[in-house]
Amino acid sequence: MSSSYPAVRRAFLAAPIRVDVPLGHQISVPLPTSAWPAPSYLGFACPATRTRGTPPVVSAPDRWWAVTAERPVLVAYAHTLHIPLSGPADPAPVSVATERQGDELEEDLRVAGELLDQVTPAFFAGTNVAARQREELRECLVAVLPRALLPWYRAAVPTFFRWLDESEAS
Protein backbone atom coordinates (compact mmCIF):
# COMPACT_ATOMS: atom_id res chain seq x y z
CA MET A 1 0.00 0.00 0.00
CA SER A 2 1.47 3.34 -1.06
CA SER A 3 1.42 6.45 1.11
CA SER A 4 -0.75 9.32 -0.04
CA TYR A 5 0.87 11.71 -2.48
CA PRO A 6 0.75 14.59 0.05
CA ALA A 7 2.74 12.42 2.50
CA VAL A 8 5.24 11.56 -0.25
CA ARG A 9 5.57 15.23 -1.22
CA ARG A 10 6.12 16.26 2.42
CA ALA A 11 8.79 13.57 2.84
CA PHE A 12 10.44 14.64 -0.41
CA LEU A 13 10.53 18.29 0.68
CA ALA A 14 11.69 17.41 4.21
CA ALA A 15 14.34 14.86 3.20
CA PRO A 16 17.50 15.20 5.32
CA ILE A 17 19.51 16.09 2.22
CA ARG A 18 17.58 19.37 1.88
CA VAL A 19 20.31 20.97 4.03
CA ASP A 20 22.59 20.28 1.05
CA VAL A 21 20.27 22.05 -1.43
CA PRO A 22 21.28 25.71 -1.73
CA LEU A 23 18.69 28.31 -0.83
CA GLY A 24 17.03 29.61 -3.99
CA HIS A 25 17.22 26.37 -5.96
CA GLN A 26 14.07 25.45 -7.87
CA ILE A 27 12.71 22.24 -6.30
CA SER A 28 10.73 19.95 -8.58
CA VAL A 29 7.50 18.16 -7.86
CA PRO A 30 8.28 14.48 -7.14
CA LEU A 31 6.82 12.07 -9.70
CA PRO A 32 6.54 8.26 -9.74
CA THR A 33 9.43 6.20 -11.02
CA SER A 34 10.08 2.52 -11.53
CA ALA A 35 13.85 3.02 -11.53
CA TRP A 36 14.23 1.52 -8.05
CA PRO A 37 13.36 -1.96 -6.75
CA ALA A 38 10.61 -0.43 -4.59
CA PRO A 39 7.94 1.94 -5.98
CA SER A 40 9.37 5.43 -5.54
CA TYR A 41 9.03 9.11 -6.38
CA LEU A 42 11.92 11.07 -7.86
CA GLY A 43 12.54 14.78 -8.13
CA PHE A 44 15.38 17.20 -8.62
CA ALA A 45 16.71 20.64 -7.75
CA CYS A 46 18.00 23.24 -10.18
CA PRO A 47 20.12 26.32 -9.64
CA ALA A 48 17.93 29.37 -10.18
CA THR A 49 18.68 33.04 -10.67
CA ARG A 50 15.91 35.23 -9.34
CA THR A 51 15.42 38.91 -10.12
CA ARG A 52 12.48 40.80 -8.70
CA GLY A 53 9.74 41.30 -11.26
CA THR A 54 10.98 38.66 -13.72
CA PRO A 55 10.53 34.89 -13.86
CA PRO A 56 13.43 32.87 -12.45
CA VAL A 57 16.05 31.59 -14.87
CA VAL A 58 16.67 27.94 -14.08
CA SER A 59 19.70 25.86 -15.05
CA ALA A 60 19.79 22.09 -15.54
CA PRO A 61 19.28 20.02 -12.38
CA ASP A 62 22.43 19.67 -10.31
CA ARG A 63 21.05 17.12 -7.82
CA TRP A 64 18.22 14.62 -7.51
CA TRP A 65 16.69 12.39 -4.87
CA ALA A 66 14.06 9.71 -4.48
CA VAL A 67 11.74 8.62 -1.68
CA THR A 68 9.85 5.33 -1.46
CA ALA A 69 6.12 5.32 -2.11
CA GLU A 70 5.10 2.90 0.63
CA ARG A 71 6.71 4.56 3.61
CA PRO A 72 8.20 7.73 2.23
CA VAL A 73 11.86 7.58 3.22
CA LEU A 74 14.92 8.67 1.28
CA VAL A 75 16.27 5.89 -0.94
CA ALA A 76 18.74 7.82 -3.09
CA TYR A 77 20.41 11.20 -3.38
CA ALA A 78 23.07 12.30 -5.83
CA HIS A 79 24.73 15.30 -7.37
CA THR A 80 24.43 15.09 -11.14
CA LEU A 81 28.20 15.59 -11.41
CA HIS A 82 28.65 12.14 -9.82
CA ILE A 83 25.51 10.29 -10.92
CA PRO A 84 23.99 12.08 -13.90
CA LEU A 85 20.29 12.53 -14.36
CA SER A 86 19.20 12.15 -17.96
CA GLY A 87 18.24 15.41 -19.52
CA PRO A 88 17.47 17.21 -22.75
CA ALA A 89 20.18 17.50 -25.38
CA ASP A 90 20.33 21.28 -24.82
CA PRO A 91 20.61 21.91 -21.08
CA ALA A 92 20.68 25.69 -21.54
CA PRO A 93 19.10 27.74 -18.73
CA VAL A 94 15.39 28.46 -19.21
CA SER A 95 13.04 31.15 -17.98
CA VAL A 96 10.36 29.58 -15.79
CA ALA A 97 7.24 31.68 -16.02
CA THR A 98 4.38 30.27 -13.98
CA GLU A 99 0.85 31.15 -14.91
CA ARG A 100 -0.57 30.00 -11.57
CA GLN A 101 0.80 30.92 -8.18
CA GLY A 102 -0.15 30.91 -4.53
CA ASP A 103 -3.55 29.42 -3.70
CA GLU A 104 -4.27 28.45 -7.32
CA LEU A 105 -1.04 26.50 -7.58
CA GLU A 106 -1.61 24.85 -4.19
CA GLU A 107 -5.09 23.78 -5.33
CA ASP A 108 -3.60 22.37 -8.55
CA LEU A 109 -1.02 20.47 -6.47
CA ARG A 110 -3.79 19.11 -4.23
CA VAL A 111 -5.78 17.88 -7.25
CA ALA A 112 -2.61 16.46 -8.82
CA GLY A 113 -1.97 14.59 -5.57
CA GLU A 114 -5.46 13.10 -5.61
CA LEU A 115 -5.05 12.03 -9.23
CA LEU A 116 -1.61 10.57 -8.57
CA ASP A 117 -3.06 8.64 -5.62
CA GLN A 118 -5.61 7.17 -8.03
CA VAL A 119 -3.24 6.21 -10.87
CA THR A 120 0.12 5.38 -9.29
CA PRO A 121 -0.97 1.92 -8.08
CA ALA A 122 -1.61 1.06 -11.74
CA PHE A 123 1.73 2.57 -12.79
CA PHE A 124 3.64 0.64 -10.14
CA ALA A 125 1.74 -2.55 -11.13
CA GLY A 126 2.46 -1.99 -14.83
CA THR A 127 -1.22 -1.74 -15.79
CA ASN A 128 -3.18 1.00 -17.55
CA VAL A 129 -5.79 3.46 -16.29
CA ALA A 130 -9.00 4.75 -17.81
CA ALA A 131 -8.53 7.37 -20.51
CA ARG A 132 -10.50 9.89 -18.44
CA GLN A 133 -8.13 9.54 -15.46
CA ARG A 134 -5.09 9.80 -17.69
CA GLU A 135 -6.40 12.95 -19.39
CA GLU A 136 -7.27 14.58 -16.05
CA LEU A 137 -3.77 13.86 -14.76
CA ARG A 138 -2.14 15.17 -17.94
CA GLU A 139 -4.15 18.43 -17.72
CA CYS A 140 -3.29 18.80 -14.06
CA LEU A 141 0.42 18.18 -14.67
CA VAL A 142 0.37 20.85 -17.39
CA ALA A 143 -0.99 23.29 -14.80
CA VAL A 144 1.49 22.24 -12.08
CA LEU A 145 4.76 21.61 -13.92
CA PRO A 146 6.51 24.62 -15.43
CA ARG A 147 6.35 24.09 -19.20
CA ALA A 148 10.02 25.04 -19.64
CA LEU A 149 11.07 22.27 -17.23
CA LEU A 150 8.93 19.54 -18.79
CA PRO A 151 11.88 18.09 -20.80
CA TRP A 152 13.78 17.63 -17.52
CA TYR A 153 10.77 16.01 -15.86
CA ARG A 154 10.36 13.66 -18.83
CA ALA A 155 14.05 12.77 -18.68
CA ALA A 156 14.04 12.29 -14.89
CA VAL A 157 11.08 9.88 -14.82
CA PRO A 158 10.88 8.52 -18.37
CA THR A 159 9.04 5.33 -17.40
CA PHE A 160 6.21 7.33 -15.85
CA PHE A 161 5.75 9.58 -18.89
CA ARG A 162 6.08 6.63 -21.28
CA TRP A 163 3.38 4.82 -19.27
CA LEU A 164 1.18 7.92 -19.28
CA ASP A 165 1.68 8.34 -23.05
CA GLU A 166 1.03 4.63 -23.69
CA SER A 167 -2.12 4.79 -21.59
CA GLU A 168 -3.32 7.37 -24.12
CA ALA A 169 -3.41 4.69 -26.82
CA SER A 170 -5.32 2.26 -24.59
Q: What is the pLDDT of residues 119-146, one digit of tens each?
A: 999 999 999 999 889 889 988 898 889 8
Q: In the prediction, which pLDDT does 166 show?
A: 80
pLDDT-based confidence at 167, cuts 50/70/90? low
Q: In the prediction, which pLDDT does 66 show?
A: 93
Q: In the prediction, which pLDDT does 100 show?
A: 67
User: E-strand spans in 40-99?
Assistant: 40-46, 48-49, 57-58, 63-68, 74-79, 94-95
- What is the Cβ-side half-sphere exposure of residue 13, based on CA atoms within 13 angstroms? 10
pLDDT-based confidence at 16, cuts 50/70/90? confident
Predicted TM-score of the model (pTM): 0.89
